[in-house]
Amino acid sequence: MKILVAQSGGPTAVINATLTGVIERARDLGYEVIGGLHGVEGILESKSVDLSTLSGKMLNSISHTPGAYLGSCRYNLPQPPDGVYDVLFNFFNSNKIDAFLYIGGNDSMDSVEKISKEAQRRKYPLLVGGIPKTVDNDLVETDHCPGYPSAAKFLNVIASEFVVDSMAYSKPVICIIETMGRDSGWLASSLKMVEKIVDGLKVMILIPELPVSEEKLLDTVNDMKSPLLISVSEGIINEEGKYLSALETVDNFGHPKLGGAGEHVATLIEKIAKVKFMNPAFSQRAATHIISEVDYREAKGVGAAAVDTLAEGKNAFFVGIERVQASIGYSSTIRIVSIDRVANEVRKVPESLFENEFIDYIAPLIGKLPKYAFRR
Amino acid sequence: MKILVAQSGGPTAVINATLTGVIERARDLGYEVIGGLHGVEGILESKSVDLSTLSGKMLNSISHTPGAYLGSCRYNLPQPPDGVYDVLFNFFNSNKIDAFLYIGGNDSMDSVEKISKEAQRRKYPLLVGGIPKTVDNDLVETDHCPGYPSAAKFLNVIASEFVVDSMAYSKPVICIIETMGRDSGWLASSLKMVEKIVDGLKVMILIPELPVSEEKLLDTVNDMKSPLLISVSEGIINEEGKYLSALETVDNFGHPKLGGAGEHVATLIEKIAKVKFMNPAFSQRAATHIISEVDYREAKGVGAAAVDTLAEGKNAFFVGIERVQASIGYSSTIRIVSIDRVANEVRKVPESLFENEFIDYIAPLIGKLPKYAFRR
């Protein structure tokens, strides 16, 4: 079997671990693997690379490198039929590709489904599988997505450092942090954990699932005691459904200001309290220096499982992660589902995980967090 | 001997390591140590804490905790004579304080000098010492300041992750990062190291020591090839001596924008290229999760050395770090100097360290950095 593997969408700290999981398992099973460069977009330009010469040491280095080793793209395949599929299947055919594995998020799973359907229509013998990757954690049919636990770990560590640092001064200050998450609040919600790290801290979570009333927000903040951390998902909306990041605000110096959602919230709140703001930006998805061990293991695991699933001759599948319910410790297992159940679905944070319940969900994925000794 | 120790100014990732260095050495020598809370400001309100009951395990935890364990302040003592010194020396007297150690940056060293002079004027038998702490690294009479190496390490790690992450897409992008450093470019300059981590990358350094011409900057960027990282010190000025952070700019959507120096540079450059911007903000000084080992060791070392210097009966001193010139490896030694040589001086990055020479200066302070395996 000859497998084409490619990466798509925003990188995560472990997307390359998944790639090496694919390569290593394929080698174990005697399969050939080539890499498509810059996802489907690059494959359409016949850009590919031989992965057979990479040493074990090199694969280990790749698995701990940020970014996407094969390059990524933000490209959505058109609805078939379309001329691009002629180009794509011409590439598959001339390179004798038997299987295509795509490591990506929502858009990539849509591409997987389209390619799979088009292969059937063309009667081209191609097995296609989607492997999850997204710090947004918003794919359905999986307990969580590789990349998310590491992003959540990084955020929890720097947010707790941020809060403890801010407590050095005698005047109370409200810490505000913006997290990734345009359509869902998984990353912002993960910061509820900081309450467990920093004793006495209250964490307020603002997520797209819960529209924000600016007036009520100010009232709530007014009623709350310091120390307070406000975790703001970049995609929060107001009660009219408008992104807060798209609203102009006026800062304390009278300057009109247009920034991200977190900056918007910070500018609002600094009218009634002292605030400190930070946006960890790309570090959330790139921080390979502090990945979650569970995440790294599972990221390699879903890559390997995808190859195993190809070996079973399955097609049009998605590699999900299922949490094993156990009384002690955390473990997970692979759950293969049909790709059509995943493509074009966005998983929001369910009400059952709002607030404190989120801690039970996220804690085992992050693993060990620092403990601090501080005075208040 | 009864020692009063306090912390002042912006915390660093190792300011608490210095505190524990003081406490541990004092215990070894049989001295009593109490902590002044929130620096001189809190001491003036008689706020102090007994440090004798802290266990060894607790001290170890404190040394790895961000923020300032004793609390900090941004308070400058007035020129003596002034009524506040009556309050201050009343505290010293009623608490039978024999010595005062102040862990801080430029302003704190000024306070140390003032207190020392005032003690002499009052003939109060007080030994006073200043212990360096600042991520800005701008104290004179020391090779570097504790806190700076860890901040530089964190910045280098996240900047290299940022750059490698950005290389995932086929379109070239210019990465821009803002660092702390209002008066000097030590932190921004440290990112020259990223050229060593990310093969083929060019790093442009913008620091307060070198006024920026916006026109020339755009020309230079235009002439440079990707990948490019621009490291922007928050305190950069233009040729008229104005802070770039105070200048309004207009973004690609026509919105007037007023942000930090890095944002200003990003808004300028996005007119001619695709840019990605991040500001690690408080994480630079709070990232205890990735401290430099050299920094931690030296931070404890300057604390211990301050107590040793008190034991020798010295007064009005500053604990500097001297780099030992050796052909192999890095080592340093303590260098005690008179506080009046340090107070109110700001050390700028010297011309001899501009560009590549900076790497020899910073590399041994940071220690081991990650290696990545990526394609370009």
How many C-beta neighbours within 10 Å does residue B212 have?
21
Say if the Cβ atoms of A370 and B58 lie within 8 Å: no
The beta strand positions in chain A, using DSSP E, are 2-7, 32-36, 48-50, 99-104, 127-132, 174-179, 202-206, 228-233, 249-250, 256-257, 275-278, 317-324, 331-338
Say if the Cβ atoms of A372 and B61 lie within 8 Å: yes
**Does residue A10 have a known ligand-binding role?**
yes
Domain chopping of chain B, boundaries: 2-147+287-344, 150-286+353-366
Best of A12, A263, A274, A289 to disrupt the B interface (most B CBs within 10 Å) is A289
**Helix axis angle, B214-223 relative to B261-269, nearest 10°?**
60
The one-letter code for the residue type at B41 is: E
| pLDDT on residue A252 | 62
Say if the Cβ atoms of A372 and B66 lie within 8 Å: yes
Give CA–CA dist B194/B159, Å, rounded.
7
| pLDDT on residue B356 | 83
The string of pLDDT tens digits covering residues B246-257 is 877 666 666 656
Mean pLDDT of successive 10-residue stretches along chain A, which has 376 residues? 97 98 98 98 98 96 98 94 96 98 96 97 97 97 98 98 95 95 96 96 96 95 89 95 81 65 93 94 98 98 98 98 88 97 95 90 96 91
Q: How far is B107 from chain A (nearest CA, A)?
A: 16
Say if the Cβ atoms of B170 and A74 lie within 8 Å: no
The CATH code of the domain at A2-147+288-345 is 3.40.50.450
Asked if residue A289 lies in contact with residue B157, where contact means CB atoms within 8 angstroms, the answer is yes
How many C-beta neighbours within 10 Å does residue A253 have?
7
| pLDDT on residue A327 | 75
**Does residue B301 have a known ligand-binding role?**
no
| pLDDT on residue B266 | 93
Among candidate residues A107, A110, A136, A295, the one labeled active-site is A136
| Angle (CA) B309 B312 B315, round 5° | 65
Only one residue has tokens 């107001």, namely A238
Q: Which helix (H) or strand (E) holds A85?
A: helix A83-94
Kindly report the backbone phi and psi dihedral angles of residue A306, in degrees, each rounded to the nearest multiple of 5, phi listed first: -65, -40
Chain A residue closest in CA terms to B257: A257
Give CA–CA dist B237/B209, Å, rounded.
9
Among candidate residues B28, B50, B98, B136, the one labeled active-site is B136
Average pLDDT for B72-83: 94
Is A136 tagged catalytic? yes
Give CA–CA dist A45/A36, Å, rounded.
10
Give CA–CA dist B243/B81, Å, rounded.
35
Give CA–CA dist A133/A125, Å, rounded.
26
B329: confidence class by pLDDT, cuts 50, 70, 90:
confident
| pLDDT on residue B251 | 63
**Does residue B134 have a known ligand-binding role?**
yes
The CATH code of the domain at B2-147+287-344 is 3.40.50.450
Please give the CATH superfamily to which domain A148-286+353-366 belongs: Phosphofructokinase domain (3.40.50.460)
| Burial class of residue A360 (count of CB atoms within 10 Å of its CB; 0-12, 13-18, 19+) | exposed
Say if the Cβ atoms of B164 and A65 lie within 8 Å: yes
Q: Tell me the pairing of strands B256-257 and B275-278.
A: unpaired
| pLDDT on residue B259 | 67
| pLDDT on residue B326 | 77
Name the residue facing B164 among A49, A66, A372 (closest C-beta): A66
Please give the CATH superfamily to which domain B150-286+353-366 belongs: Phosphofructokinase domain (3.40.50.460)
Residues 6+ apart with CB under 8 A from A83: none
| Angle (CA) B338 B362 B309, round 5° | 25
This complex has an ipTM of 0.96
| pLDDT on residue A245 | 83
Average pLDDT for B342-366: 93
Q: Tell me the pairing of strands B331-338 and B317-324.
A: antiparallel
